[in-house]
């Protein structure tokens, strides 16, 4: 294999640039030419790619986002779109493809391999940390620290006003950011889609119990995919009569939706080193003939998990951590 391409797809995550850097420089060191594809799979279809050299990836290790840009591509989801992408790859003489992104990006790579025999390999680039086959995904640690910083700051204003705040994290169907952020931030309650048994009455009781214990604030963290999101909790609790609910008007709730701030920012040391190891490992696997899977870090070792295994197995959160958060809030 003498010529490979690299692209980033789907939602951006801190650490994608260090991964691009590692892929490029490891491949060049091995005597392989590297092409960067701009705007993900859309760039493949539009033939938006150019050759990368050492200097092209200099000074990006500390930058958030992705220098290759990213985009959604409905056209690539069609067989005709993928055929067009392959025509462009063949025209450039590309013999292998490294894809950095989430599960949707992985499905695209798997389709190219299954339908056209193109050797592909994926890196887990998503703040959700919801991909089977790796302990951590690129960007999750940085996003988690952003969540924790927000919790700490909101606690200050919550104490000043003696109010309850609901903080909503990203994560779609994954509660990783909410669970770990809430645990590290000392949240009084955590709502995640994996455990949908918390009712609005439970949340009210958490708030009442917090102020009965003399706390000056109450912080509840909810994942965006939880059955009760931040706005729903705020609206329902604020409709409850103050006397009936047992807390004064001062303790009415406020919702803070963190949103895309969790995706931005300079990647943490952990994400930089993880992305570097995964990016370098992906090239080594690809050049050695090992492809068609997700490169992950499991128990501190680089692994490649086949696409069908990744797609067939949901990543499971540690339920013991959720129970621990409930124990710590009670006393």
pLDDT at 329: 75
pLDDT per residue over 103-138, tens digit each?
999 999 999 999 999 999 999 999 999 999 999 999
Q: Is 253 annotated as belonging to a binding site?
A: no
Is 271 tagged catalytic? no
Q: What angle do CA 321, 226, 190 make, to 5 degrees?
A: 35
> CA 110, 111, 117, 121 torsion: positive or negative?
negative
CA 12 to chain centre: 8
Element counts in the chain: helices (H) and strands (E): 12, 11
The three-class DSSP label of residue 62 is coil
Q: Of 32, 42, 45, nearest to 8 (Cα)?
A: 42
Residue among 12, 48, 56, 128 flagged as catalytic: 128
> CA 304, 310, 313, 314 torsion: positive or negative?
positive
Sketch out the chain's domains with CATH numbers: 3-139+267-312 (3.40.50.450), 141-262 (3.40.50.460)
Give the chain's end-to-end CA distance (angstroms, integer): 60
Q: Is 80 annotated as belonging to a binding site?
A: no
Q: How far is CA 215 from CA 28, 251, 327, in A?
A: 58, 11, 17
Question: To the nearest whole number, what is the mean pLDDT of the chain?
Answer: 94
Q: Is 50 annotated as belonging to a binding site?
A: no
pLDDT per residue over 1-30, tens digit each?
999 999 999 999 999 999 999 999 999 999
What does the block give as tokens for 240? Answer: 């409850």
Q: Is 125 annotated as belonging to a binding site?
A: no
pLDDT per residue over 72-100, tens digit each?
899 999 999 999 999 999 999 999 999 99
Q: Which residues pair with 16 in a beta bridge?
A: none
């Amino acid at each position: 294999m003498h010529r490979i391409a690299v692209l980033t797809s789907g939602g951006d995550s801190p650490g994608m640039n260090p991964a691009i850097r590692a892929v490029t420089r490891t491949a060049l060191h091995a005597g392989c030419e590297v092409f960067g594809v701009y705007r993900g799979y859309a760039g493949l279809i539009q033939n938006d790619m150019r050759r990368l050299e050492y200097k092209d990836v200099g000074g990006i290790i500390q930058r958030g986002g992705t220098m290759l840009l990213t985009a959604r591509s409905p056209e690539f989801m069609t067989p005709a779109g993928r055929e067009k992408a392959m025509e462009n790859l063949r025209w450039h003489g590309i013999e292998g493809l490294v894809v950095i992104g989430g599960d949707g990006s992985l499905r695209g790579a798997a389709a190219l391999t299954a339908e056209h025999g193109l050797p592909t390999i994926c890196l887990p680039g998503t703040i959700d940390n919801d991909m089977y086959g790796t302990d951590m995904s690129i960007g999750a640690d940085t996003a988690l620290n952003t969540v924790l910083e927000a919790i700490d700051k909101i606690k200050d204003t919550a104490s000043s006003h003696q109010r309850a705040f609901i903080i909503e994290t990203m994560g779609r169907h994954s509660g990783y950011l909410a669970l770990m952020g809430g645990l590290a931030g000392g949240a009084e309650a955590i709502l995640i889609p994996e455990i949908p048994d918390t009712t609005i009455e439970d949340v009210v009781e958490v708030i009442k119990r917090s102020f009965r214990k003399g706390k000056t604030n109450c912080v509840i963290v909810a994942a965006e995919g939880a059955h009760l999101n931040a706005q729903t909790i705020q609206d329902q609790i604020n409709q409850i009569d103050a006397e009936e609910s047992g807390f004064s008007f001062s303790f009415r709730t406020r919702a803070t939706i963190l949103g895309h701030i969790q995706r931005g920012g300079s990647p943490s040391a952990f994400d930089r080193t993880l992305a570097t190891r995964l990016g370098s490992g992906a090239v080594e696997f690809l050049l050695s003939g090992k492809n068609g899977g997700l490169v992950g870090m499991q128990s501190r070792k680089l692994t490649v998990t086949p696409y069908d295994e990744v797609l067939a197995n949901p990543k499971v959160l540690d339920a013991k951590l959720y129970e621990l958060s409930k124990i710590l809030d009670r006393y």
